[in-house]
């Protein structure tokens, strides 16, 4: 397909036109996730630039800090059917934060609202229950993992990323699609190989359009349009199976609650182990102190006895010569 045909296909894509109709879905929601500074916001700006074909504008704040624990999932409509979400609050991905990321990915938290997210199980459960009030069953969620080639991947980082991708797959029922940014600024083939080894099948690579680099070239257009084409073909394929949006949402919710619960149990276990280790250390210290006191006491006793003995000898000696 040439550029115009690709764009036409993407812009006119409707879930109604899928083999079994829309099955209750009316929107394709591209859920961007990934580490801070890897080009998520820039990718949104690039998509807008290419699909809407106007001036280059910064819609999503590229280069802005994601700031603390406040989570705001901002939506950017791209076409009548496709909307992209910039998921925030993923500066680091330790296992206590990923619960939040999964709740975002599973589309269980409200969009376009400030949400302050605590890490405890109870608070996650409460938020999920509250989000049922106006539950969203009509978004077909597509997970998109954005990663910068420039940052590279070390062997130590592989397990964490793999875990994240695996969970995102379980959660959404879709293989996360990997978008590699900064494609000319590092070891592209090396990074691609790492993702392939992690089981990723769909990898796209591009150089984002930015304020200082917004020259439209056919190749750069093609990259982004090819990405959307690939995404929509996957959606069409998944939509050719019988689907059940409320059931799927319930499954996502179960996954997240189980994840959060397990994490809480793990944390409790760790805290208990720490407390036990601290108690043991205290007992050991007390035992050492007691042994030390006894030793000092024994030494003192021995010194006293030696002193008495010397006294006795001395008095015997002095008696003899006095």
| 148 binds Mg ion per the rule CB under 5 A | no
Binding to Mg ion (CB under 5 A): which residues in 158-217? none
Radius of gyration in angstroms for the set of CA atoms belonging to the chain, rounded to a whole number: 32
Query: Which of 31, 41, 71, 104 touches ligand GDP (CB under 6 A)?
Result: 41
Binding to ligand GDP (CB under 6 A): which residues in 51-90? 62-63
- Which of the listed partners (ligand GDP, Mg ion, none) does 79 bind, with a CB threshold of 5 to 8 Å by partner kind? none
Give the span between the Cα atoms of 20 and 148, in whole angstroms.
Answer: 37
Query: Which of 10, 13, 22, 38 touches ligand GDP (CB under 6 A)?
Result: 38
- Which of the listed partners (Mg ion, ligand GDP, none) does 42 bind, with a CB threshold of 5 to 8 Å by partner kind? ligand GDP
- Which range touches ligand GDP (CB under 6 A), out of 35-43, 219-227, 271-279, 282-290? 35-43
Min. distance of Cβ 32 from ligand GDP in angstroms?
A: 8
| 41 binds Mg ion per the rule CB under 5 A | yes
Query: Which of 100, 207, 223, 264 touches ligand GDP (CB under 6 A)?
Result: 207
Binding to Mg ion (CB under 5 A): which residues in 218-257? none
- Which of the listed partners (ligand GDP, Mg ion, none) does 22 bind, with a CB threshold of 5 to 8 Å by partner kind? none
Query: Which of residues 48 and 253 has its CB atom nearest to ligand GDP in the complex?
Result: 48
| 210 binds ligand GDP per the rule CB under 6 A | yes
- Which of the listed partners (ligand GDP, Mg ion, none) does 220 bind, with a CB threshold of 5 to 8 Å by partner kind? none
- Going by C-alpha positions, the residue among 194, 157, 167 that lies closest to residue 33 is 167
What number of chain residues touch ligand GDP (CB under 6 A)?
14
| 42 binds Mg ion per the rule CB under 5 A | no
Min. distance of Cβ 59 from Mg ion in angstroms?
A: 11
Give the span between the Cα atoms of 95 and 90, in whole angstroms.
Answer: 11
Min. distance of Cβ 244 from ligand GDP in angstroms?
A: 33
- Which range touches ligand GDP (CB under 6 A), out of 37-45, 97-105, 272-280, 309-317? 37-45
Give the span between the Cα atoms of 132 and 95, in whole angstroms.
Answer: 25
Query: Which of residues 31 and 41 has its CB atom nearest to Mg ion in the complex?
Result: 41
**From the centroid of its chain, how far is CA 141?**
17
| 182 binds ligand GDP per the rule CB under 6 A | yes
| Three-state SS sequence of the chain | CCHHHHHHHHHCCCHHHCCCCCCCCCEEEEEEECCCCCCHHHHHHHHHHHHHCCCCCCCCCCCCCCCCCEEECEEEECCCCEEEEECCCCCCCCHHHHHHHHHHHCCCCCCCCEEECCCCHHHHHHHHHHHCCCCCCCEEEEEEEEEECCCCCCHHHHHHHHHHHHHHHHHHCCCCEEEEECCCCCCHHHHHHHHHHCCCCCEEECCCCECCECCCCHHHHHHHHHHHHHHHHHHHHHHCCCCCHHHHHHHHHHHHHHHHHHHHHHHHHHHHHHHHHHHHHHHHHHHHHHHHHHHHHHHHHHHHHHHHHHHHHHHHHHHHHC
Query: Which of 22, 104, 107, 181 touches ligand GDP (CB under 6 A)?
Result: 181
Binding site for ligand GDP (CB under 6 A): 36-42, 62-63, 181-182, 207-208, 210
Binding site for Mg ion (CB under 5 A): 40-41
């Amino acid at each position: 397909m040439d550029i115009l045909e690709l764009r036409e296909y993407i812009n006119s894509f409707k879930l109604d036109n899928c083999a079994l109709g829309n099955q209750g879905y009316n929107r394709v929601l591209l859920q961007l996730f990934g580490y801070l500074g890897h080009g998520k916001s820039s990718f949104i700006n690039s998509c807008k630039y290419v699909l809407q074909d106007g001036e280059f504008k910064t819609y999503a704040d590229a280069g802005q800090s994601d700031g603390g624990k406040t989570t705001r999932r901002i939506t950017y409509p791209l076409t009548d059917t496709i909307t992209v979400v910039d998921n925030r609050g993923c500066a680091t991905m330790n296992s206590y934060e990923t619960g939040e990321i999964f709740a975002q990915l599973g589309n269980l938290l409200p969009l376009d609202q400030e949400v302050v997210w605590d890490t405890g199980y109870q608070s996650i459960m409460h938020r999920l229950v509250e989000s049922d009030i106006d539950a969203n069953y009509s978004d077909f969620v597509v997970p998109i993992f954005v990663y910068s080639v420039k940052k590279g991947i070390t062997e130590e980082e592989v397990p964490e990323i793999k875990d994240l991708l695996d969970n995102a797959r379980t959660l959404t029922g879709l293989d996360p699609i990997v978008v590699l940014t900064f494609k000319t600024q590092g070891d592209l083939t090396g990074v691609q190989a790492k993702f392939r080894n992690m089981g990723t099948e769909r990898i796209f690579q591009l150089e984002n359009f930015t304020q200082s680099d917004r020259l439209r070239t056919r190749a750069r257009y093609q990259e982004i349009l090819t990405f959307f084409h690939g995404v929509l073909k996957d959606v069409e394929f998944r939509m050719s199976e019988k689907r059940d949006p409320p059931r799927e949402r319930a499954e996502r919710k179960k996954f997240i609650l189980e994840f959060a619960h397990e994490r809480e149990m793990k944390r409790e276990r760790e805290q208990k182990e720490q407390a036990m280790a601290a108690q043991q250390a205290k007992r050991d210290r007390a035992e050492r102190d007691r042994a030390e006191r006894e030793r000092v006491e024994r030494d003192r006793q021995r010194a006293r006895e030696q002193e008495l003995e010397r006294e006795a000898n001395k008095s015997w000696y002095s008696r003899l010569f006095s």
